[in-house]
Amino acid sequence: LENIYKYFSNVKGLTNLFWGFSDFTDPFLTFITLVKNIPENVPFEYDAYIKDSSLLIPTIIYPNRPLPYNKWYMKTFEPGLFVKGAGKTFYVIGFGYLFAGLIGVFISLFLFGSLFEWFNKFFRMIGDTAGLFLYSCFFIQLIAFVVGCGFIVFIKSIFMNFFIPIFL
């Protein structure tokens, strides 16, 4: 309790209120690191969606599949922490920027927006309490999207955490 009091007594404004919480700052810091290093030190990954799609294949079948992009980030930019098993969340805008710069950001956000619109129409079609229940379950995945790893990982998490439990 004493540490909580010290933390909040040092907050000087709303902008630095969450700065001590890595869940809020790490996704943005990873994006800044990508912008500083791409394309000068790290090339664009124009095949990012293909690599991301390979994450749907289990490692038993495809043992040399590419790393998820949050792990790729750690291996590329913080190898010491990667060896220890540490990780950081990978901001979805960073995934788009890694894919193709600013155009990649727009493409990634367009794909996510299209997916969200499809889910919105789906839940409205269901309607009533069932639609509200499903939307509330899906909303948890929306939060994961904000600090997600990539488009396919997001879709995979929806299936693993949303559709499969409903069907079971």
User: Each residue of 56-65: pLDDT tens digit?
Assistant: 888 899 999 8
Tokens representing 55 are 């994450």
User: Each residue of 56-109: pLDDT tens digit?
Assistant: 888 899 999 888 888 888 899 989 988 998 877 777 788 888 889 999 989 988
Determine contact, residues 105/96, Cβ cutoff 8 Å: yes
Indicate the DSSP class of residue 42.
Answer: S
The three-state secondary structure class of 113 is helix
Determine contact, residues 65/57, Cβ cutoff 8 Å: yes
Mean pLDDT score across all residues of the chain: 78
- Looking at residue 144, what is its pLDDT? 64
Residue carrying the six token digits 């379950």 = 137
State yes or no: pLDDT of 15 exceeds 60. Answer: no
How far apart, in whole angstroms, are the C-alpha atoms of residue 131 and residue 124? 6
